[in-house]
Amino acid sequence: MDAWVTDAAAQIASTAEHELERLVAVSSPSGDVPGAQAALAVAQTLLPADAHVQRVPCSTAQHADDLIATVRGSGRARILLVGHVDTVVAHAVHEPLRAEADRLVGSGSIDMKGGDVLALGVLRALAARREDIGEVALLLVTDEEWRVGEFAHGPRFAGYDACLCFEGGELDGDGEDAVIVRRKAAGTVRVTARGRSAHSGANPDAGRNALLALAAAAQAVAGCHDPGGPDELTAVPTVLHCGGAFNVVPSQGELLCDVRAQSLDALDRVLAAIPHEVGGAALQAQNVRRWPGMDHRASMAPVLEEAAGLLGRSIVGAPRGGASDASHFATIVPLCVDGLGPLGGQAHAPGEYVLAASLHSRAQVALAIAGAIMARA
């Protein structure tokens, strides 16, 4: 293994568990401004001493400002590191970090405060190589889990050589280190129904049942589901709100569906399949979240080969169905790779965890990739 990768990874690993404990101790559900501010305050204490810190408006209104920390050097490489501090875990069920055998268990540990710790460590390691970097920036956002609007930060990083995103890592089927080089496009389809209320016992036929209309819409969405097809389209109804009383024909409601495919165009076919009216109740469908896909298999292949040489073991490029902020840079930055965070599981669920040993092994992977990018700049 390359000496710099060995030494820098050991340094990151020596403090990573303590840093993760500090970050996870802060409950920061998406949209909670005090929680986000507190999490970013912890992150700022872990930056290189001379990092230039900016707080910039978040992509989503009523969220805490995002954080950009920049380190500049005399070299050529311009590298963006990306993470998020928001979680989906409510304050009432937040769990601080605790050790259980080989696991570090705590809310937001794998998604993605463990990745944030590694991104901060990589930033510090790169800051020690000023002769090889032109500029390294760390972007920590506060709205990744619930964002539905346009992403605000893409253009500001035009001209960078690479984007490294630190969502949770994985191994391939052979146990080799894997990183994410392809992600699906993602959408959230929202269907609203407008019907007419009526007494469900005395005069039900005078009503226009919004619930039945939304049920038909859900069936239409599910009918588009074709994960084995050319677009690998998944279309899954996930949330239904409708009705207010057991004895009233529901007059309005809302359906949410999670839709993912290899291209945003495929998502539009789902919208087209939803009827405009069912049983006299009007339906209106829109895609309220449009996250682009990412496919950097070709551009990253030689980088991963060179990084494997620095690492002394294989690095495999892999696909993943879930969305991340790396996708927003896929058309702006020539090299994009994700899944550089630690190994773990049960994201968004009780018992969420990071494998403690992977904080070291995945720091090695991220540093090797960064080293390969610097060598190519």
The domain ranges of the chain are: 3-183+293-376, 185-291
- Average pLDDT in the 210-225 region? 98
CATH domain 185-291 topology: Alpha-Beta Plaits (3.30.70)
pLDDT, tens only, 187-210: 999 999 999 999 999 999 999 999
Confidence of residue 273 (pLDDT cuts 50, 70, 90): very high
Arch. (CATH architecture) of 3-183+293-376: 3-Layer(aba) Sandwich (3.40)
pLDDT score at 148: 85
Helix, strand, coil tally for the chain in percent (to 5): 35, 30, 35
- Average pLDDT in the 87-91 region? 96
d(CA 114, CA 129): 24
d(CA 81, CA 51): 14
pTM: 0.92
pLDDT score at 93: 97
> From the CA atom positions of the chain, what is the Rg in Å?
23
Element (H, E) at 255: strand 252-261
